Structure 1
Amino acid sequence: MSATEDMRLRAKEQQELCARVRRMLVSRLDLPVDTDWITDDQPLFGRGLELDSVDALEISIGLTAEFGATVHDDDREAFGSVAKLTERVHDQI
Protein backbone atom coordinates (compact mmCIF):
# COMPACT_ATOMS: atom_id res chain seq x y z
CA MET A 1 0.00 0.00 0.00
CA SER A 2 1.37 3.41 -0.93
CA ALA A 3 1.76 6.21 1.58
CA THR A 4 -1.08 8.11 -0.10
CA GLU A 5 -3.43 5.15 0.11
CA ASP A 6 -2.47 4.63 3.75
CA MET A 7 -3.22 8.29 4.54
CA ARG A 8 -6.58 8.06 2.79
CA LEU A 9 -7.47 4.92 4.71
CA ARG A 10 -6.53 6.51 8.05
CA ALA A 11 -8.52 9.66 7.18
CA LYS A 12 -11.57 7.58 6.31
CA GLU A 13 -11.28 5.61 9.56
CA GLN A 14 -10.99 8.89 11.49
CA GLN A 15 -14.10 10.28 9.75
CA GLU A 16 -16.08 7.13 10.53
CA LEU A 17 -14.98 7.18 14.17
CA CYS A 18 -15.91 10.88 14.46
CA ALA A 19 -19.36 10.06 13.06
CA ARG A 20 -19.77 7.28 15.64
CA VAL A 21 -18.75 9.65 18.45
CA ARG A 22 -21.23 12.29 17.20
CA ARG A 23 -24.02 9.69 17.10
CA MET A 24 -23.13 8.59 20.63
CA LEU A 25 -23.23 12.21 21.85
CA VAL A 26 -26.63 12.92 20.34
CA SER A 27 -28.09 9.63 21.53
CA ARG A 28 -26.54 9.50 25.00
CA LEU A 29 -27.19 13.16 25.83
CA ASP A 30 -30.55 13.25 24.05
CA LEU A 31 -29.43 16.34 22.14
CA PRO A 32 -32.12 18.01 20.03
CA VAL A 33 -29.85 18.24 16.97
CA ASP A 34 -29.04 16.12 13.94
CA THR A 35 -25.60 14.48 14.09
CA ASP A 36 -24.65 16.22 10.83
CA TRP A 37 -25.11 19.57 12.57
CA ILE A 38 -22.18 18.85 14.89
CA THR A 39 -18.81 19.49 13.29
CA ASP A 40 -15.67 17.64 14.30
CA ASP A 41 -13.96 20.83 15.56
CA GLN A 42 -16.99 22.36 17.25
CA PRO A 43 -16.41 23.07 20.96
CA LEU A 44 -18.45 20.81 23.21
CA PHE A 45 -18.70 23.35 26.03
CA GLY A 46 -19.28 27.10 26.10
CA ARG A 47 -20.40 28.54 22.79
CA GLY A 48 -20.32 25.13 21.14
CA LEU A 49 -22.86 22.55 22.20
CA GLU A 50 -23.16 24.26 25.60
CA LEU A 51 -22.61 21.04 27.52
CA ASP A 52 -21.88 20.99 31.25
CA SER A 53 -20.00 18.85 33.77
CA VAL A 54 -22.86 16.36 34.09
CA ASP A 55 -22.73 15.90 30.31
CA ALA A 56 -18.96 15.32 30.53
CA LEU A 57 -19.55 12.52 33.01
CA GLU A 58 -22.23 10.99 30.77
CA ILE A 59 -19.90 11.24 27.75
CA SER A 60 -17.13 9.54 29.71
CA ILE A 61 -19.47 6.68 30.61
CA GLY A 62 -20.74 6.49 27.02
CA LEU A 63 -17.23 6.28 25.56
CA THR A 64 -16.44 3.40 27.88
CA ALA A 65 -19.68 1.60 27.02
CA GLU A 66 -19.52 2.22 23.27
CA PHE A 67 -15.80 1.96 22.56
CA GLY A 68 -14.17 0.54 25.69
CA ALA A 69 -12.14 3.76 25.93
CA THR A 70 -11.46 5.60 29.15
CA VAL A 71 -11.61 9.38 29.09
CA HIS A 72 -11.96 11.04 32.46
CA ASP A 73 -14.65 13.69 32.77
CA ASP A 74 -12.10 16.21 34.09
CA ASP A 75 -9.78 15.87 31.06
CA ARG A 76 -10.37 19.33 29.58
CA GLU A 77 -8.19 18.79 26.54
CA ALA A 78 -9.98 15.61 25.46
CA PHE A 79 -13.37 17.30 25.78
CA GLY A 80 -12.37 20.21 23.55
CA SER A 81 -14.18 18.86 20.48
CA VAL A 82 -15.45 15.72 18.79
CA ALA A 83 -12.12 15.42 16.98
CA LYS A 84 -10.17 15.51 20.24
CA LEU A 85 -12.47 12.95 21.86
CA THR A 86 -12.07 10.77 18.79
CA GLU A 87 -8.27 11.00 19.01
CA ARG A 88 -8.40 9.72 22.60
CA VAL A 89 -10.74 6.91 21.64
CA HIS A 90 -8.63 5.99 18.63
CA ASP A 91 -5.50 5.79 20.79
CA GLN A 92 -7.23 3.20 23.00
CA ILE A 93 -8.94 0.94 20.50
Structure 2
Amino acid sequence: MVDLENEIKTLIVESLKLEDIRPEDIDSSEPLFVDGLGLDSIDALELGVALRKRFGIKIDSVTGDVKAHFANVRSLALFVQSQQVE
Protein backbone atom coordinates (compact mmCIF):
# COMPACT_ATOMS: atom_id res chain seq x y z
CA MET A 1 0.00 0.00 0.00
CA VAL A 2 2.89 2.37 0.77
CA ASP A 3 4.20 1.94 -2.79
CA LEU A 4 0.78 2.79 -4.21
CA GLU A 5 0.52 5.85 -1.94
CA ASN A 6 3.95 7.02 -3.13
CA GLU A 7 2.95 6.49 -6.76
CA ILE A 8 -0.21 8.56 -6.20
CA LYS A 9 1.82 11.33 -4.51
CA THR A 10 4.13 11.45 -7.53
CA LEU A 11 1.11 11.46 -9.85
CA ILE A 12 -0.41 14.39 -7.93
CA VAL A 13 2.78 16.46 -8.13
CA GLU A 14 3.42 15.68 -11.80
CA SER A 15 -0.12 15.84 -13.19
CA LEU A 16 -0.99 19.05 -11.32
CA LYS A 17 2.46 20.58 -11.95
CA LEU A 18 2.96 21.45 -8.28
CA GLU A 19 6.30 23.22 -8.45
CA ASP A 20 6.86 23.90 -4.75
CA ILE A 21 5.88 20.44 -3.49
CA ARG A 22 7.75 17.13 -3.67
CA PRO A 23 5.94 13.79 -3.37
CA GLU A 24 7.70 13.08 -0.08
CA ASP A 25 6.31 16.36 1.33
CA ILE A 26 2.74 15.04 1.11
CA ASP A 27 1.43 13.24 4.18
CA SER A 28 -0.82 10.31 3.19
CA SER A 29 -3.47 11.32 5.73
CA GLU A 30 -3.33 15.06 4.97
CA PRO A 31 -6.48 16.48 3.32
CA LEU A 32 -5.99 17.13 -0.39
CA PHE A 33 -8.58 19.91 -0.74
CA VAL A 34 -9.06 23.27 0.98
CA ASP A 35 -7.04 22.63 4.15
CA GLY A 36 -3.95 20.51 3.81
CA LEU A 37 -2.59 20.43 0.27
CA GLY A 38 -5.07 23.11 -0.85
CA LEU A 39 -6.24 21.62 -4.15
CA ASP A 40 -9.42 22.91 -5.82
CA SER A 41 -12.17 21.50 -8.05
CA ILE A 42 -10.14 21.95 -11.26
CA ASP A 43 -7.30 20.01 -9.64
CA ALA A 44 -9.80 17.27 -8.73
CA LEU A 45 -10.86 16.92 -12.37
CA GLU A 46 -7.25 16.81 -13.58
CA LEU A 47 -6.32 14.32 -10.89
CA GLY A 48 -9.30 12.14 -11.79
CA VAL A 49 -8.18 12.05 -15.43
CA ALA A 50 -4.61 11.22 -14.42
CA LEU A 51 -5.80 8.40 -12.13
CA ARG A 52 -7.97 6.93 -14.89
CA LYS A 53 -5.06 7.00 -17.35
CA ARG A 54 -2.45 5.63 -14.96
CA PHE A 55 -4.48 2.91 -13.26
CA GLY A 56 -7.24 2.21 -15.79
CA ILE A 57 -9.96 2.76 -13.22
CA LYS A 58 -13.48 4.07 -13.59
CA ILE A 59 -14.56 7.05 -11.51
CA ASP A 60 -18.29 7.73 -11.36
CA SER A 61 -19.68 11.23 -11.39
CA VAL A 62 -19.18 13.24 -8.26
CA THR A 63 -21.01 11.70 -5.33
CA GLY A 64 -20.40 11.67 -1.62
CA ASP A 65 -18.49 8.40 -2.05
CA VAL A 66 -16.22 9.85 -4.73
CA LYS A 67 -15.54 12.91 -2.57
CA ALA A 68 -14.61 10.60 0.30
CA HIS A 69 -12.18 8.69 -1.94
CA PHE A 70 -10.45 11.97 -2.83
CA ALA A 71 -10.13 13.09 0.81
CA ASN A 72 -6.44 12.18 1.07
CA VAL A 73 -3.75 10.02 -0.53
CA ARG A 74 -4.51 7.04 1.69
CA SER A 75 -8.20 6.99 0.77
CA LEU A 76 -7.28 7.37 -2.91
CA ALA A 77 -4.88 4.43 -2.65
CA LEU A 78 -7.61 2.28 -1.07
CA PHE A 79 -10.02 3.31 -3.83
CA VAL A 80 -7.53 2.55 -6.62
CA GLN A 81 -6.71 -0.79 -5.01
CA SER A 82 -10.41 -1.71 -4.76
CA GLN A 83 -11.00 -0.78 -8.41
CA GLN A 84 -8.11 -2.90 -9.62
CA VAL A 85 -9.42 -6.00 -7.84
CA GLU A 86 -12.72 -5.95 -9.73
The CA RMSD measured in Å over matched residues stands at 1.2
Higher relative contact order (CA 8 A, sep 6+): 2
Aligned residues: 80
Is the alpha carbon distance of 1:73 and 1:41 closer, same or farther for their aligned partners in structure 2, counting shifts above 3 Å? farther
Distance in 2 between residues matched to 1:53 and 1:73, nearest whole Å: 13
Select between 15-24 and 67-76 the one with higher mean Cα deviation.
Answer: 67-76
Q: Which residue of 2 aligns with 1:61?
A: 49
Structure 1 or 2: larger helix share?
1
Q: Which residue of 1 aligns with 2:83?
A: 92
Distance in 2 between residues matched to 1:64 and 1:81, nearest whole Å: 17
Consecutive unaligned residues of structure 1, counting only runs of 5 or more, are: 1-13
**Matched residue of 2:67: which SS?**
coil
Q: TM-score, normalised by structure 1?
A: 0.81
**Which amino acid counterpart does residue 64 of structure 1 have in structure 2?**
R
Is the alpha carbon distance of 1:72 and 1:42 closer, same or farther for their aligned partners in structure 2, counting shifts above 3 Å? farther
Q: Which has the larger radius of gyration?
A: 1
Q: TM-score, normalised by structure 2?
A: 0.87
Q: Which residue of 2 aligns with 1:30?
A: 17
